[in-house]
Amino acid sequence: MAYKSLLTVVTAADLEPAGAPGAHFPALRAAIAMARAEDAHLDVVALGVDRTQVGYFYAGASGVIYREMIERAQTEAAATADAVRAVLAPEDIRWAVHPEVGQSGAVSGIVARHARFADLALVRPPDGEGRAPEEEAILEALLFDGECPTLVLPEGMQDAPRTDRVVIAWNESAEALSAVRRALPILQRARKVEIVVIDPRPSGPDAPDPGVNLSQLLARHGVACDVSLLARSLPSVADVLARHLRDHDADMLVMGAYGHSRFREAILGGATRSFLRDAPVPVFMMH
């Protein structure tokens, strides 16, 4: 399977300050480069968000403010879509721009509707300076509601991701296995694939030889890989992964998303949120 339908989501937060002419859109530019490399179609959702909380307005004002906020979101979506079209117009790829408007609580449904028919989504990390409040909801909608494999790009990355050296974070979870299966086109092209197991479990299907079952599965798809067992020598799994990726000059990480409940991830952090915040390489995720 190849990635022939790519998707990215942009908001007004991706525009240059004060609506200056032109747009930055680093994730969009990376998606353009990947669409060209994959000979794929690129869909771009230009999202305008109405953040109205109608129930909190004083009597008599709700309707007026609600209308004003909807109109503002429509203007935001249209301006973002125009800026995206200006970026895409000179590019030699197939593309479509979809302006969308919704309240903050409806963002997931809008994004999921498009994600269901995409092979791969590309987005920037949801946490960081200048992020829109809904960017975390966008990522979760891609992974959960849209069931779309998602490539989270390091801050500022504008080129197509390299895939020469790919690391798989393996913990025997269903999420990690789903990510590996959806990443097969990338793994089959990679020059080196490494399965990394951190603090292997003393019991379980892989206990006698951690990673062997996955390596056999990949070998049958023509993917030769090594298995590395790492001790949890740093405070978090994310720290261990980040150091290993840097030490081995990796190009990409494949990992399962949100192994714990989303509520626990939001409160306590966890490997998913920690890693996305400071990821040194693109992270291919699937729930």
| DSSP H or E segment with residue 36 | helix 26-38
Residue with tokens 């990679």: 190
The percentage of residues in the chain with a pLDDT greater than 90, rounded to a whole number, is: 56
Residue in 281, 260, 277 with CA at minimum distance from that of residue 129: 277
**34 and 117 share one domain:** yes
**118 and 202 share one domain:** no
Domain end (from 103, 130, 152): 152
Residue 159 lies in a domain: no
Residue 111 lies in a domain: yes
Residue 157 lies in a domain: no
Residues of the chain predicted below pLDDT 50: 18-22, 264, 267-268
* pTM as predicted: 0.88
Domain end (from 88, 123, 152): 152
How do strand 41-50 and strand 165-169 relate by DSSP bridges? unpaired
**271 and 221 share one domain:** yes
**77 and 131 share one domain:** yes
Residue 49 lies in a domain: yes
Number of structural domains in the chain: 2
Domain range for 72: 5-152
| DSSP H or E segment with residue 151 | strand 150-152
Q: Cβ contacts of residue 135 below 8 Å, gap of 6+?
A: 11, 13, 123, 124, 126
What are 70's two structure tokens? 């909807």
What letters, b where the CB count within 10 A reaches 16 and e where it falls short, cover 13-23? bbbeeeeeeeb
CATH code, domain carrying 171: 3.40.50.620
Residue 77 lies in a domain: yes
**171 and 268 share one domain:** yes
* pLDDT at 207 (0 to 100): 62
**185 and 142 share one domain:** no
Residue 160 lies in a domain: no
What letters, b where the CB count within 10 A reaches 16 and e where it falls short, cover 222-249? ebebebbebeeeeeebbbbbbebbeeee
Residue 85 lies in a domain: yes
**209 and 118 share one domain:** no
Task: Report, in angstroms and rounded to the nearest whole number, the Rg of the chain calculated over CA atoms.
Answer: 20
**31 and 64 share one domain:** yes
**133 and 212 share one domain:** no
